[in-house]
Amino acid sequence: MIIEITKPRRGRPPKNTTDNRDTRAELIRSGLEQLTESGFSASGIDPILKKVGVPKGSFYHYFSSKEAFGLAVIDSYANYFAHKLDTYLLDESYPALTRIANFVEDAKSGLAYHHFKRGCLIGNLGQEVDLLPESFRPILSHVFITWQNRIADCLELAKANHDLSQSANTEKLAEYFWIGWEGAVSRTRLTQNTTPIDNYFHHFMTGLPR
């Protein structure tokens, strides 16, 4: 997914192109950590800059505004997560439904590794969408659709292999999966254990038409 962002114009210029590229990536990485824990509205630029060691005046050589920065973080996370989904959902060494289960197990491990402080950036932003710049809304919707399409394709494969009923509406099931998944991840952060995800995924799998 490509998001067009206005070219920055203000602030102290970077020393060289390599420094510019690396620092921008570090800022996005730092922003990703901050936004997945605290959300966009509650996150200030200062702690992100401090962690990377970039003066505030130089920030605008990398991003034209906090909005542009947020869009860059969303784009980075969306690409990262799409790659993660593909790693599991396109793994031909497993049956289609097992691929989804493998993704779920990996996500649970990631949540536990970060002590349940970080959730899904896209889901978190979706919950505060009315407080976000309007430009975020279509981008977040698009990301969810691309994720749904990947799950739907995997369910279609299960259907082709007769592990799923031929009458199954894979697009609706994929939409249901992500709606439930975001709620389960949110509850998991609250309880600080993976029981909500386990319960949700168990009922999702047992409810599939066979």
Per-residue confidence (pLDDT) for residue 54, from 0 to 100: 87
- Please give the Cα distance from 32 to 54 (Å, whole number): 16
Q: Which residues of the chain have pLDDT under 50?
A: 2-9, 11-21
Contact between 200 and 180 (Cβ < 8 Å) = yes
84-110 burial: b if 16+ Cβ within 10 Å, else e: ebeebbeeeeeebbebbeebbeebbee
Q: What letter would DSSP give residue 130? A: G
Q: What is the pTM of this model?
A: 0.86
Say how many CA atoms lie within 13 Å of 17 toward its Cβ.
0
Per-residue confidence (pLDDT) for residue 17, from 0 to 100: 42
Contact between 197 and 108 (Cβ < 8 Å) = yes
Per-residue confidence (pLDDT) for residue 182, from 0 to 100: 95
Q: Of 136, 8, 118, 29, nearest to 80 (Cα)?
A: 29
Per-residue confidence (pLDDT) for residue 38, from 0 to 100: 85
